[in-house]
Every structure is written in C-alpha cells, then in structure tokens.
Amino acid sequence: MADSVNEESDYVPGKDELDWGYEEGVEWGLHFPAANGEYQSPINLNSREAQYDPSLLDIGLSPNYVVCRDCEVINDGHTVRILLKSKSVVTGGPLPSDHEYELHEVRFHWGKENQRGSEHTVNFKAFPMELHLIHWNSTLFNSLEDALGRKNGILIIALFVQVGKEHLGLKAITEVLQDLQYKGKSKIIPCFNPNTLLPDPLLRDYWVYEGSLTTPPCSESVTWILYRYPLTISQMQIEEFRRLRSHVKGAELPEGNDGMLGDNFRPTQPLSDRKTNQRGERSRSVRTRMENQGKAKLMGLHISCRLKVDKEAFELQTLLHALC
C-alpha cells in the first residue's frame, strides 16, 4: 500500500474514549468503575523493595516480533498509537507456560517538559516519556477486547525513554508526526520494526507486577513488565510529539486549554498489598546463594551420616574387643 495521509478528520471515539481527559481533578471512576479498583496502574517502583525472583532467570522472556507492513499511526487526541497488523508474540518470563501474547499496538505517554512524562516512576523519579507495547493472550482469547479484565488476559511491556541520542527505530514515527497534528489524523507507514523498541539483549533486566490499564476503562488483570534500562531519543524527536494537538482542527477550546497534546500520564496509584518482582543480577546472586545453601545442607547431612556410621563402627569394635 502506498504511503498515504488521511486528510479528513474522520476519528470517531469509541465508548471507552468518551468523557475523560488528563486535566487535573478529573475523576475517571465516576464514569469507569474499574478505575476505583485496588490494583490500579501506574505505580512507583521502589527498586530496594522489589523482590529478586531467581525463577525469572530459568525461562527467558522471548519477544518474537516481526516487521509490520503498512502500519497505521494515529493521533487519537489522547496519545499516538501504532496499530500493528503482523502477528508478533511474546512468550516465557513470568507469563503462563505455553501461552502466547500477541502484540496489538504501541502507545506513547510524554510530558510537556523533560522533568515529567512517564506514567510509572522509579524511586519517585519520572522520565520524559514512556511507551507501552500492548499485548493480549491469543492462547485463551479471540481479541484484545475479549481479553480485557480477564485473568492472564493482557500484557503490557513498558519502556522508559530519556533524552539524548536520536533513536533510529523511531524515526519512521517521528518523521510523520507533522502530518498528524490534529486529533483524528492518521497515516500509513510502509513498515515498522517493533524489535527496535527493545533494549539491548544484555540490558533486559525488568520489573514485573499485576495492575491495570492506565487509561479508561482501567481494567485490571494486566501483567506489567517494565524494562529497567531506558531507551534514548533526541530532543528534536520528543519535540515532534509535543507539537501535536489534542483536538480536531478548528475546534473551539475551553478557556485555559492550549490544545497541546502532552502530560498524558495518569498519576501513580497505591501499591496496596501487591509486590513487585525483579529480574536482574541479584536474581543470579539469590539463586547462587540458594544453590550453595542446598549444597551446604547436603554436605552437612553427608558429614552427619558419616559421623553416625563411624560412631556405630567404633561401638561395634569396642564390643568385639570386650567379647574377646
């Protein structure tokens, strides 16, 4: 399909996209009851309190992504979305055994300034941007909609983004954002490789926890995997996102609303009784320590048995001497 731009604002919001925004004081829970749930996202990730899980080293997380042809990039007034057609899946890691999670789309969240923008924070520190690779369990369900709110239904892989060197993999996106200035605009790009969004294979330590969608309807039963090491994009690239608008062309804006798309992140939510696990170098240390403790225990049992045998042999020998 040829590279093309939809010139008309033909965006039609769905049911779950009505009556919500990121303005201060907006109560999503009034319209979307799931937003009042106990296990909501995003959260603050406390690196010292997250538990290192050695089992995450046994089965590696395996993203099997393929290049997508004729992907659609959309400004929906809340974010930029990349809708993927080709079947890219993720398996392994903390996911249920033999389950495939199919990549549906990519979404971005960014701040109007570099000091904020990410939805999750790490030790209360925010990044300028966070991107989400949204997957659904294609082993159990027939579609993303079918999987929402269902156990083991949704997986979101998140990556923090910092400002620095240009990201070559995102050039295909940032170079067309000028054509998506207003809400409802979309563009077909010839190809996009989601593998370019993943960190270097040697830098794939991550946190994992159970939460929710960060946008309405805020359905829970979402498995979150957040890579520890951020991607890097240039200042020029992030400014392309900040030039986008949250309204259709020609719309009359409320007083005090500049119409610029940005600061599209939900505040962090209470952790409640949830725990976060980590996969990383200390996971290896924990597993090594557990293995060493096991070996020491076996060695102790061996020594104990040997001493018992030696004692019994000595007592038998003493008895034989007495009989003689």
Catalytic residue numbers, as ranges: 78
Q: What's at 284, amino acid-wise?
A: R
Q: Which of 276, 268, 269, 232 is nearest to 119 (CA)?
A: 268
- Given a contact cutoff of 8 angstroms between Cβ atoms, the answer to whether 101 and 140 are in contact is no
Distance CA 208, CA 93 (A): 10
Going from the C-alpha of 115 to that of each of 2, 99, 136, the distances in angstroms are 39, 38, 32
Q: Hey, how many other C-beta atoms are within 10 angstroms of the C-beta on 198? A: 18
Q: Hey, how many other C-beta atoms are within 10 angstroms of the C-beta on 206? A: 23
Task: Give the CA radius of gyration of the chain.
Answer: 26
Report the DSSP beta bridge partners of residue 161: 129, 231
Percent composition of the chain: helix, strand, coil (DSSP 3-state, to 5): 25, 25, 45
- Given a contact cutoff of 8 angstroms between Cβ atoms, the answer to whether 95 and 62 are in contact is no
Q: Which of 112, 126, 86, 54 is nearest to 264 (CA)?
A: 112
Q: What's at 191, amino acid-wise?
A: C
